[in-house]
Every structure is written in C-alpha cells, then in structure tokens.
Structure 1
Amino acid sequence: MTPARSLHVVFCWHMHQPDYRDAQGTYRFPWTYLHACKDYVDMVAHLEENPLARVVFNFVPVLLEQLDDYAEQFRTRQFRDPLLRALASPDLKTLGVADRHIILDQCFRLDPEHMLNPFPAYRRLYDLWQFIRQDAAEMGDYLSVQYLADLLVWYHLAWTGETLRRKSATIQDLMAKGSGFTAADRTALLACLGETITGLLPRYQALAEAGRIEISTTPYQHPIAPLLLDFQTARDGLPDAALPESTEYPGGKERVQRQLRRALASHRQHFSEPPRGIWPAEGGISAEFVELLGEEGVQWTASGEGVLGRSLHQSFTDRAPARGRAKYLYRAYRSAGQGPHLFFRDDSLSDRIGFDYKTWSGHDAATDFVQRLEAIWRDTEDQPAPVVSVILDGENAWEYYPYNGYYFLSELYRLLSNHPHIQLCTFGDYVRDHGDAAQDLPKLAAGSWVYGNFSTWIGDPGKNRAWDLLCHVKLVVDQKIGNFSAERQEAIRQQLSRCEGSDWFWWFGDYNPGDAVRDFDGLYRDHLRQLYDLLEQSAPAELDQAISQGGGSAEAGGTMRRGHT
C-alpha cells in the first residue's frame, strides 16, 4: 500500500537513433539493430521481470521507422544492411573487397573492456588484426574466409543483451563453440537476431497496454525545435554565443509543427493511442515551443535542471529562488500557468547512472542510488508529493557496464519496487494524480538538458557552418518544391526532416572522436546532397568538404554528455 507521503520517482529512458539510410535505402551504420539486440531488448526484459516497476520509455519515430524496416528485412531476407547481408551470405567467398573492408572496419567498434576482452576467442581475432595492420591495412585482404566468419559471429554475439544471452540456447551454444563458425551457425544466429527484433516493439506495447509503462515520443526526426523556431534562443543561455551567418531558419515554425504532428501520428500508428507526453529532442525547450506542444494537446514535457534554474532567476528577478535543490527541483511546473506540465531532470542522479556507476558493483551502485533518493525524501518532507525525474539515454550507457548493466538495473528495480517511501511512477501518472499542484513558472528559459543551453548544437564554427548549409538548401526547397508532383513534394519534405535532426550538429566539433565525427559528417552531407537531387539542383561544391575533423576523446565515446559541468 502506498504510504501517505511518497517520493515519486520517474525514470524516462530515451531511445533514439538517427536515420542511417542513404538514398538507396542502404544502412551506412548498423547501430539501430545492434542497440535493439543489446539494449532495447534488455530494457524491456527488466520491466517484464519486475512487475511492480513503472517507467517511461521514449521512442523517437525515426527509430521506430528503422526498427520496422529491419523487421521487414528479416521477414523478406532482403538485407539492406551490409553486416546482416554478410551474415546471411551462404558463402563468404563471394564477398567483394568493399564488403570485406566494411566487416573489418566495423566489427571492432565497441567498448573493448566490456565487449571484447571478456571473450578470449574474440580477443584473438582482434590481436591478429592489429598485427596485420602494422604492415598495411590492405593486408586484411589476405585474411581467410573463416576469419571473417568468426569475426562476424563474434561481433554480433558481443552486441547481444545479457537477458538474451541468458535465455537463448543459440547464443549460449555459439559462445561455447568459440571459433570455426559455419554457415549453419551464422544462419542460426541470424534467425535469433531476427526473432528478437521482430518481437521487440510488441513486447513494449504489451507492457503499455497492461499499464506497466508509459511510452512517449519526440518530434519525428529529433530536431532541436527551439533553434528551428529562433536561432536567438541560443543566447538565452549563452549571451555571447556566435550564431550562423543565416539570421534564421526559414519557415521554422511550420517545420516544427510538421515534425511534431508526424510524431503524434507515428505514435498512434505504433501504439494504438496518442502519447500523453513529449520528451523534446535533447530536452530542448523554449516558451514558444512549449506553447506549440500545448496546442497539440500534449500533457507533459521535460528538460534539464539548468533550464529550471535560469527560468526561476528570470521569473523572480526581485528575489532569489528558494535555496537548496529540494525546495524547487522536485515538483512539476507550468509555463505561465498553462500548457503542458513541465518536469526537470535531476542532473546529478541521471549522470551517476550515465557515467559513474559503470565502475561500481551492481549492488553497491543500486544501494547508493536508493540512499540518495532517501535523502531527497527526507529533504522534501514539507512537500505532499515530491517527484524526482531521472532522464537519460536508454542505450548508450550500458556498453560501459559489466554485463550490460544487468546486475545494476535488476537490483535497482527490485529495491525501488519494494521501498516503503518511494513510488515508481510515470509522468502521465503524476499529472493525473498530482497535476493540480503544479507551480506557475512565469518565464520559461530556453535551453537543453546539456548545461542548460544549446552550446552542444550551435555556436561552434563547424556547427554554425552545418546550420548555414541547411538554411541554404531550405531556401531552395521553398523556391522549387511547387514545381513537383505531390509524391515528390512529400519525399522532399521527408528528406528535409532528416537533415533537421539534432545528431548531426551534436557531433560537429573537435572535442569528439575523429571516427564518429567522420561518420556523421559524411552522412549529413550525403543527406543534403540527396535533398538537392530530389530538387533536381546541383549540390554546392562546399558539400565535398568535411565540416569538422574531430580528434578528441570524449567521455563515453561522445555518445552522451553530462547534464552539468
């Protein structure tokens, strides 16, 4: 029975991958299906195994679209992903040089400490490749077909979730065999992966229909909506931020509305009902964007702790906000007393999961997290229904945990589900039961969950150049789109949506790892070229030049950021 005063805790696990397909529908990178087989399957399994746990899963529509596409590839066995095509090949001797190089380039791209070193047979493959590369990368052409077969199998085994390994006899048998994998072994592995991916979304939907999870969404291709609406919002958090040469993104409001409405339609298509909430791309909000959410009937949205801090300072200029995070962070708000309920991420707790607990034992990490929540419960004794928002990626952290975070998550859900003073809930639950207690926020600052500003996506020379390239092609779209058929116009708008995604701007900047910057830089420029092709216009020569080089060694491979410095 729920006690009279509980600390409400909402976990919002954000599931997102950008569109990795090129103009021919071929996947340039395999991250969508690899995360599906490792992380999305583990995350739903933990909830299936903990019937008292309740969380929010946020699925970005472009991820759902790609998962649907992968499921169709497995049904038809017409693979548009090079790695899956190779895995499905009955005879690897027929692979061309380009496909061999894709395998060798891709199949060691993971965290070695937790996904390679624990498997001696896989590690031997890596050591051999490193030895060969000392002479020349071309030496890889001399590696045997058996080497390629073993490498393909081990890479996919390393990218399976812990819950899948514990339940699948196929995965267990292949790991025990270790080497000398045959075409039959690869076929069995492919069937296991296909069954996992095709059955994934129905498992989430079943939990949602049972009322055990809430599924929310994000504008369709994950755009930074406040920046599309107004570049000047970047200066709300950073007054001296350098902005692109283009003074605005042309027609930004219409584009945000389109991405939002397409997301709502996609969600209804996949989950049979409209979403109650929106996790905006990167937690990026502004007063204008939140107003648009309200016009679409969205009940809740969320952002970062830094945005709340600046909002309070802007709202109460004659007095400082109440001291102590417990006095202001653990409650719901509404912008100017209307529109969606606003929740703000506890950066410290969220970042501990994202970055710090990976080096702890699962039990110790879960116990520490619960003790921190208990301290918040004591510090909020004057509040009838305090709420803690823990929001982070649902996929990227676990690569750096032992056993894909299995022991940490299992213990965490167990401890919280049975705690006398802590109640796991969803944002939708909280709005339904305690929405009337939301506090008015007279002024809502613009910003994201990263540092409370937009510096991760704008202000850097490379990021600004990327925005200018997008603005230039948007002007061409506006001028030329009326010349085409309705079907071509829809293709143009869809391709423009891909180019508006936040991920491209995230990766530009020399503080990110060079390989990742190269990958996303090249794919972004290819998406822009494809848009020019649809418009029957010549792409500018500038698209042949890299936007950013990278070269840093960002924490967690650059896939995540801490919410505060």
Structure 2
Amino acid sequence: MPEKLKVVLCWHMHQPAYYDWHSEQYQLPWTYLHGIKDYVDMVAHLEAVPNARAVVNFAPTLLEQLDDYVQQIQAFLREGTPIRDPLLAALTSQPAHQPFLNQPAGETNKDATVITAARLKLIDQCLRANQERLIKRFKPYQALAEVANSFKQNAKLVTYLDEQYVIDLLMWYHLAWLGETVRRQDSRVKVLIEKGRGFSELERRQLLEIIGELLGGIIPRYKTLMEKGQIELSVTPYAHPIMPLLLDVFSAREAIPNVNFAGISCYPDGKERVRWHMHEGIKTFEQHFGCKPTGCWPSEGSVSEATVRLMEEFNIKWVASGTGVWHNSMKKAKLDHQSLHRPYRLYKSSVNCFFRDDNLSDLIGFEFAKWHADDAVAHLIHHLENIARAAPTTGATVVSLILDGENAWEYYPENGYYFLSTLYRQLANHPQLELTTFSRCLEVAVAPLPTLVAGSWVYGTFSTWIGDKDKNRAWEMLIEAKHVFNRVIAQLSPEQQTAAGRQLAICEGSDWCWWFGDYNPATAVRDFERLYRLHLTHLYRLLGEPPPAYLNLSFASGHGDPATGGVMRRGQESGT
C-alpha cells in the first residue's frame, strides 16, 4: 500500500503591538476582536475533530497582548480598574463614549463639540466590520448601522442620538465579532442576540465577562491540544521583523536586482537584533506554553541563507516560506523537475525548509469564501489527491498549506464554520492523505537545496516591505533611531536599556511597512502610519533624546482598494 501524502495546515496567528505606552492605551482593538472570533473558533474546530492535526504559529506580541487583555478585564471586574482599550472600555462606561473623550473617568465634559467627536469615533469604530458577513447578517445590527451611516453625513445630528442607541450599536458590534462556535454554544450569548435591543447595564457587564472568559481560555486551550499531540505550536521572532532585511537590507536584490534603495543604508548591528528577537520570542513562547518550539515560521515566511543558518543557534528544526522563494531558488540552482511538495535542506544545515503551496493556500484565503463549503473542500481535496497520485513520479511527500489564521474567515459565511469543520473532518479521515505537522515530517527524506534566494512568501520578494518611497522613508526613520539607540544605550540603567530594547523591537516589526504604499486603503494606512510614528516617538523618549520633528508629520497615505482590505496578500502577483 503506497504511503499517504502528508498534508500540513499551518495557521499563522499574528497581531502587532497596538499599545502606546505614552498614552497608556491600545490604539486599535484587533487583538481582542480576533481573539473572541478567530482564535476561539479555530481551537474549537480542532477540539471537535480529535484526530485532526495542524500547526498553529503564535507571534509573541500577540501572546503578550492576549494575556494583558485578560489581566485588564479581570482587574476591572474585581476592582473597577479602568480598561486601557477605549472600545472595550466603552462596553461598561457611563456614558459609553467616555473612553473616547481622552480624559480621566469620572470627569464631565459638557462641550458639545467634544462630545460629538467622541461619539462619532465610537460609532465609526462600531462600523468597522465586514458589511456582508457581520453587519447584514444580523437585522438589528444592520438597522443600527444604517442609522449610523446617515448620521455620519451630518455630524451635528449625532448630539440628538439617545444613549441607548449608542449602547445597542456597541453591543451588536461585539456580538457580531464573537466566534460562530460561541454563538452556537453559549446560552448567554443566545439570549443577548434574541433580545436584540435595549441592552441593560447588567447585560453590558455580562458581555464583558464573556469576552474575558473567551480571551482567558485561548492560550490554555491551544496548550492542551499541544500536550495531547494533536497540534504543533511554533514561534515567530518576537516583534515579527523581516529578519533577512535586518541581517542585510541589500539581500532584497537577490529576488529583485533593481530594487530602489533610495535613502537606505544597512541596518546597524542587524545580526544582534535578529538574535534578540529570536531569544525573546522563544522566551515568550516558553512562558506561555511551558516548552521550547521546534519550528519557526519566520515573519512573513521571510528567509535567506543567513537567516536559516542563524536558526541553528536556537535549535530550530524547521522553517517555512513560499512558492516564490522555492521557484527563485530552483531557478538559480538550475534545477528542473523538482517538487515543491517536499522538505529541502541547505548544505551542512540541520534546518528543514518547507514551502507553501501558493495556489492551494490562496484558494482558502481568497476564493473559497464564495463557494459552498462542501464544494470548496471537495475541490481542495481533489487537488491533493492528484498530487498524491503523481507522487511516485514527482517525489512529492508533504504539501504545505500555510496562511493567515485570523483574517480570511470574516469573508466566509458564519466565519468559516462549515468550511473549517468539513475540512478537518474530511482530511483527518482521508484514505490517501495524512493530516500532520511539520515536526512529524522531519524524518521524511529531504532534497538538497544548493542555494536559497532571499525573499518572503509574498511574491517571493521583499517588495511589500522595501522599495516604495513610503516604505523606504520608514526604513530611514528606523535606521536613524537605531543610530541614536547605539549612541546612548550604554548610558542608561539596566531597566532603561531593557525597556528601550523592547521598544526598538516593536519599531522593527514588519507590520508598519506592510501598510505603507498607495495601493493600500486610506483608513488602514492612516492607522498604522500614525502608530508607527507613536512607537518611534516613545523610543526616543525612552532613550532620553528629543524625538525628531518629522515624527509629528504624516508621511504615508493610501488610496487603494485591495482584496480583503489589504490584510492578506496572495502568494503570487496576478498574471504570474
């Protein structure tokens, strides 16, 4: 009987650092919103199919923020300690818009203009959801949203909205963001949804309690599945930096020889910074899961030969990247008729390299949301069966399906409930396919990898993070800040050095440059560009240096309308 084709589903769970230490507030709510929807749903689907297998990769900054939200909610429920996320705090604030006034709780601001602005901020946030799948699905929420959109056209009319309207809109925003498994299983949530309007102070607090329970259960539930051997948990460097660019910014030329480096020089002491991110990332992983990771999903699947060899220092046994990197590497090595679907290894390296099947992964990320779940899963399995049948000729042994674990599902009916449950059941019980993890594939025969062309899973290049004028400007600012860091760090106390090093790491994260560029939507660019400047400003403060005046000025804007709002990319550019 022929050996089964191994299939690895790898879900990358990631959120950047949204907390601004200067204002002592979270600037964006996506960590806790994705927590109560996508991280909860994914673990519930795995729990429901015990013989299913998957790899789940957690970014350390996400783990820390999830834990912080749990601590905040518990402190509020016990002692009334203010919650430091304005949107979450609004659930139980009196009035609801109080956290958006930028003043201490209990103080009253009677300025109608200020109150209107705060209410508009809250209302605008409560509309930041998928129109088709999250808003229109619930008739009460849709009705509230229609009123909100009409009032946004004439801001003065917002003062005439009664408080109950704002409360109901806020409640429905959070009810819509709950995971589908939660809505189906939690009787308290069912009662709130059935009520539909006129939510009381007690019901607002109850919903906050539910959110606290959901967030508090995420890490323990994944840890339990890991301890059972059902899933593998892997790590990403601490703040999700593009490691090859920190090691050598000019490695971007390997995939795009004519990349624009205007204004950019090499990143100072990049190798030590990569080591810092790996050390702190593994340390954070251990604190939450009680063990060391075997594998690493490098931020955005960004790899280079230097990056992979550096992983050996941390006893990492596997990394993964994308089809584009594999294709570029095969082309450079002049190797034909090789299979994407197998592990590779550089000469004298102990690290296995797996490569994402872009076509199949992007079907999940971008196309199957429009399909009936049964048809989508059947189509995917048909492709996998074809790969399995051809394996004796092609040498295929492992198919890697790797994608964002949080952003695709709001485009699916019921948050991907039917797709994911069907996918796990059918793959777990398929006679020709073995659903497994990367660590369980380490004994599979590896193919030699003579060279590895530096790049990421996005197009096989680093064009998402460098080469555009706004992206390059962000690198300029970061490099300048790093020079200041190097100049003054020895003068600081050990505690100050630790705080500054961690803040520098946040500024080194990949998320900022991801969003810079005209092809991205204006709202997202505005949010992340502002947050990047706030993080750099705070770094200068920690270093005891005056922040440059340019950090008060916006340097990037967006005008695009990309698929899925830009939160995900396809592995290959259209037409390639």
Q: TM-score range by the shorter chain?
A: over 0.9
Q: CA 1:440 to 1:337, structure 2 compared with 1: closer, same or farther past 3 Å?
A: farther
- Cα distance in 2 between the residues matched to 1:345 and 1:93: 45
* 1:91 Cα deviation after fit: 5.0
Which position in structure 1 is the counterpart of 2:371? 360
The one-letter amino acid paired with 1:53 is A
Check 1:563–1:385 CA distance in 2 against 1; reply closer, same or farther (3 A cut).
closer
Q: After superposition, what is the alpha-carbon deviation per residue over 1:100-145, rounded to whole angstroms, capped at 9, x for unaligned?
A: 333112110011000001111111111111222222x343233210
CA distance in 1, matches of 2:15, 2:86: 18
CA RMSD between the two structures? 1.3
The CA distance in 2 between the partners of 1:389 and 1:101, in whole Å, is: 44
Q: Residues of 2 paired with 1:92 and 1:262: CA distance?
A: 38
Give, in whole Å, the separation in 1 of the partners of 2:538 and 2:57.
Answer: 29
Matches of 1:129 and 1:270 in 2, distance apart? 41
- The alpha carbon displacement at 1:536 in A equals 1.6
Distance 1:515 1:81 in 2: 19
Deviates more, 1:33-42 or 1:362-371: 362-371
1:534-554 Cα shifts (integer Å, max 9, x gaps): 112111121122121101001
Q: Which residue of 2 aligns with 1:284?
A: 302
Aligned residue in 2 for 1:107: 126
* Residue of structure 2 aligned with 1:539, choices 541, 547, 555: 547
Normalising by structure 1, we get a TM-score of 0.96
Q: Is the 8 A contact 1:337 1:440 kept in 2?
A: no
Alpha-carbon shift at residue 337 of structure 1 (Å)? 4.3
Aligned to 2:108: none
Separation in structure 1 between the aligned mates of residue 479 and residue 251 of structure 2, nearest angstrom: 17
Change (3 A) 1:337 1:93: closer
Residue of structure 1 in register with 2:502 after alignment: 494
For residues 478-493 of structure 1, the aligned pairs below 5 Å read: 478-493=486-501
Show the counterpart of 1:128.
147
Q: Provide the C-alpha distance between the structure 2 equivalents of 1:47 and 1:33, rounded to a whole number of angstroms.
A: 20
**Size of the alignment, in residue pairs?**
552
Matches within 5 A, 1:44-59: 44-59=43-58
- Equivalent position of 1:414 in the other structure: 425
Q: Secondary structure at the match of 1:553?
A: coil
1:28 alignment counterpart:
27
Q: Which amino acid aligns with 1:350?
A: S
Consecutive unaligned residues in structure 2, runs of 5 or more:
102-114
2:3 paired with 1:17: no
> SS at the partner of 1:440?
strand
Change in Cα spacing, 1:523 to 1:209, as seen in structure 2 (3 Å) is same
Structure 1 counterpart of 2:357: 346
- Match in the other structure for 1:556: 564
Aligned partner of residue 339 in structure 1, secondary structure: coil
Residue 246 of structure 1 deviates from its aligned partner by 2.8
The DSSP-based 3-state class of the residue aligned with 2:484 is helix
Q: Deviations over 1:306-337 (max 9, x none)?
A: 10111112223xxx411xxxx41011001124
* Greater Cα offset, 277-286 or 138-147: 138-147
Unpaired runs of 5+ residues, structure 1, are none
Structure 2 residue aligned with 1:189: 207
Cross-structure match for 2:91: 87
Matching of residues 24-423 of structure 1 within 5 Å: 24-77=23-76, 78=81, 79-89=83-93, 91-92=95-96, 96=101, 97=115, 99-135=118-154, 137-316=155-334, 320-322=335-337, 327-382=338-393, 386-423=397-434
User: Is the Cα–Cα contact under 8 Å of residues 499 and 527 in structure 1 kept in the other structure?
Assistant: yes
Checking the alignment, whether the CA contact within 8 Å between 2:264 and 2:472 is kept in structure 1 is: no
Q: AA paired with 1:18?
A: P
Kept in 1, the 8 Å contact 2:387–2:396? The answer is no
Work out whether residues 41 and 196 of structure 1, in 8 Å CA contact, stay in contact via their aligned partners in 2: yes
1:503 matched to 2:511 = yes
Shift of 1:282: 0.4
CA distance in 2, matches of 1:194, 1:412: 29
In 1, Cα distance between equivalents of 2:535 and 2:262 = 20
Q: CA deviation at 1:244?
A: 4.2
**Does the CA-based 8 Å contact 2:458-2:464 persist in structure 1?**
yes
The 10-residue stretch of structure 1 (55-64 or 377-386) with the greater mean CA deviation from structure 2: 377-386
Q: Is the 8 A contact 2:120 2:152 kept in 1?
A: no
Give me the whole-angstrom Cα distance separating, in 1, the residues matched to 2:494 and 2:349: 38
